[in-house]
Chains A and B, each alone.
Chain A
Amino acid sequence: MLDVNTPLSKDSRNFLENLRLYLIANGKNTDEIEEIVEELGVHLLEAEGNDKSVEHIVGSSPKEYMEQISAEMPVDVKGSLKYLVMILFGAASYLVMDKALNGGIEFSFLELIGYPLAGLLSIVVYLISFRYLASHTLSMVRQSVLLFTLGIISIALFASVIILSGIYGTPFVKLENTGNVVAVIAAISIFIFLSIWSKTWIPIIIPLLLFGPSLLMDNTDYQESVKLVLSSLITMLGILLYCGITLKKSKSV
């Protein structure tokens, strides 16, 4: 991977980051992506040493240039499917954990169909938007509006599954005690597997921060409302702390 601390100009770094995002959103092979990003980085570095601008390298339209590169790289179907399956499995494990800790695992038929569908739709919407974001120069405001809308869309998709299932759904799968324990162990194993596979702590830390505090609070004698506020506070602070530590680490490398 290209060193983030190479003395490349901001324009060049932006272009390389956008190219990487564009190619990922187009389902290209990650090794091949890193290869071309690195090669272009070397070129840009040398070009900047000779006072050439990014435009001199990529032409007047970065979008067209990204398309040209993308067109020469085959879509990595197997690799993309792997990511898709991992994301869906990860999301399913969150749901299972959440249900198991809040009164037991119970899914209606609508939920069983609806959640994967909402997940897939969200991924498609995100990929299309990332392609757009990477190949267009947008102001900070527009970028934030787009990302915010994206968040709302996926939340709305999942919320409608929850609401519809509340109205029309009848329990289709309902697990008893042993079933719940087995499902939770499976979910935890998936988190650990995802963490090893992605070589990051995120798949373990996020569920720990989301579910840990309320579990802890359940063992205290505080009032319900106090429990709720405290556990959400710990979750939020934990996530902020984790982001801070990661940011500091990536800067000091």
Chain B
Amino acid sequence: MSSTQMLKGILEGCLLAIMKEGEVYGYELAEKLNRYGFESLSEGTIYPLLIRMQKEKLVLTTLRKSTAGPNRKYYSLSEKGEKELNLFIERWNRLSVNVNQIVKNKGGV
């Protein structure tokens, strides 16, 4: 797995976790990621991921009118998306425990 692919997987998990907190639209999602520390990421990175997540039926979408201008597309978790989020959290916890141990022991066992 290349590092960009790994980051994509992690980002997908993050998007699912943000959606778990409630309906969001693209710009909001990007801003939230940014606030959580992904500043170096260009904001558009989320859209290819959102297209894929939509294709895999992890998310549900609705178009809503906005007072600020054109319609916004809102995303929320589907049932399948919730399951995927739980799997991601499990995988992530395992991975971060492993990585933390290695880093703490500076590579020695």
By a CB distance below 8 angstroms, the chain B residues around A202 are none
Nearest residue (CB) in A for B46 is: A43
A110 CB to nearest chain B CB (Å):
46
B51 close to A42 (CB less than 8 A): no
B45, B47, B69: which contacts A39 (Cβ < 8 A)? B47
A167 CB to nearest chain B CB (Å):
52
Stretch in A64-72, A149-157, A193-201, A241-249 touching the partner: A64-72
B44, B55, B71: which contacts A42 (Cβ < 8 A)? B71
Stretch in A53-61, A75-83, A113-121, A173-181 touching the partner: A53-61
By a CB distance below 8 angstroms, the chain B residues around A72 are 48, 51-52, 55
B52 close to A47 (CB less than 8 A): no
A71 close to B43 (CB less than 8 A): no
B25, B42, B48, B70: which contacts A3 (Cβ < 8 A)? B70
| B92 in contact (CB, < 8 A) | no
B48 close to A69 (CB less than 8 A): yes
Bound CA–CA A46/B52 (angstroms)? 23
| A145 in contact (CB, < 8 A) | no
Interface size bracket, A side = 20 to 34
| A36 in contact (CB, < 8 A) | yes
Known: A46-B27, A69-B47. A38 touches B55 (CB 8 A): no
| B73 in contact (CB, < 8 A) | yes
A57 close to B72 (CB less than 8 A): no
A69 close to B70 (CB less than 8 A): no
Bound CA–CA A71/B49 (angstroms)? 11
A69 close to B51 (CB less than 8 A): yes
B42 close to A56 (CB less than 8 A): yes
Bound CA–CA A6/B66 (angstroms)? 14
| B85 in contact (CB, < 8 A) | no
Known: A57-B42, A59-B44, A68-B48. A45 touches B26 (CB 8 A): no
Known: A71-B48, A72-B48, A72-B52. A59 touches B26 (CB 8 A): no
B44 close to A57 (CB less than 8 A): yes
B44 close to A38 (CB less than 8 A): no
A59 close to B45 (CB less than 8 A): yes
B4 CB to nearest chain A CB (Å):
10
Encode A141-173 as 1/0 by CB contact (under 8 A) with B: 000000000000000000000000000000000
A47 close to B72 (CB less than 8 A): no
Bound CA–CA A46/B55 (angstroms)? 26
| B30 in contact (CB, < 8 A) | yes
| B6 in contact (CB, < 8 A) | no
Bound CA–CA A74/B68 (angstroms)? 32
| A226 in contact (CB, < 8 A) | no
B48 close to A47 (CB less than 8 A): no
Encode B45-63 as 1/0 by CB contact (under 8 A) with A: 1011001100100000000
Which of B25, B69, B72 neighbours the largest number of chain A CB atoms within 10 Å of its CB? Answer: B69
A40 close to B47 (CB less than 8 A): yes
Which of A47, A69, A72 neighbours the largest number of chain B CB atoms within 10 Å of its CB? Answer: A72
B41 CB to nearest chain A CB (Å):
9
25 A-B contact pairs sorted by A residue (CB < 8 Å): A3-B70, A6-B69, A35-B73, A36-B51, A39-B73, A40-B44, A41-B70, A42-B25, A42-B26, A42-B69, A42-B71, A43-B43, A43-B47, A46-B69, A47-B27, A47-B43, A56-B42, A59-B44, A65-B44, A69-B47, A69-B48, A71-B48, A72-B48, A72-B55, A74-B55
